[in-house]
Amino acid sequence: MSTGRLSTHVLDTACGKPATGMRVELHRIEHGVGKTKVAEATTNADGRTDKPMLEGNAMTPGTYRLLFHVGDYFERTGSADAKKFLDVIPILFVIDDASAKYHVPLLVSPWAYSTYRGS
């Protein structure tokens, strides 16, 4: 069994707090085959998913895409700028070591975002 895992969290930089209740999807991308949804979660009060998006035997090398539904989140929180620019943010990345820990955070406002590989 692999000891690796993939986790994420979202910070709402416009409000300076965790993004609670944001839907996050994870897809595996396979060239010539397409994409397969492997997980879906909603962020909790800390802006994190309750469990890793991938772990154990599901953690395999490959290309993945996280989809963050930021437009719905900002609309639900009453932002006047919701869906005026950002709606769904895709982040494509590669897992090449299934035993490693991958953390992909998202820092987001209605107008901009950034990400990085965290620990």
SS3 at position 76 = helix
pLDDT for 42 equals 98
Q: Show the tokens assigned to 5.
A: 């895992």
Q: Is the pLDDT of residue 119 over 90?
A: no
- 29 in any annotated domain: yes
Q: Are 53 and 37 in contact (CB under 8 A)?
A: no
- State pLDDT tens for residues 22-80: 999 999 999 878 899 999 999 999 999 999 999 999 999 999 999 999 999 999 999 99
Q: Rounded to a whole number, what is the distance in angstroms from the first to the last CA of the chain?
A: 21
> How many domains would you assign to the chain?
1
- 51 in any annotated domain: yes
- State pLDDT tens for residues 49-65: 999 999 999 999 999 99
CATH number at residue 100: 2.60.40.180
Sign of CA dihedral 95, 99, 60, 9: negative
Q: Which residues constitute the domain of residue 26?
A: 5-108
How far apart CA 58 and CA 65 sit, in angstroms, is 15
pLDDT band at residue 3 under the 50/70/90 scheme: confident
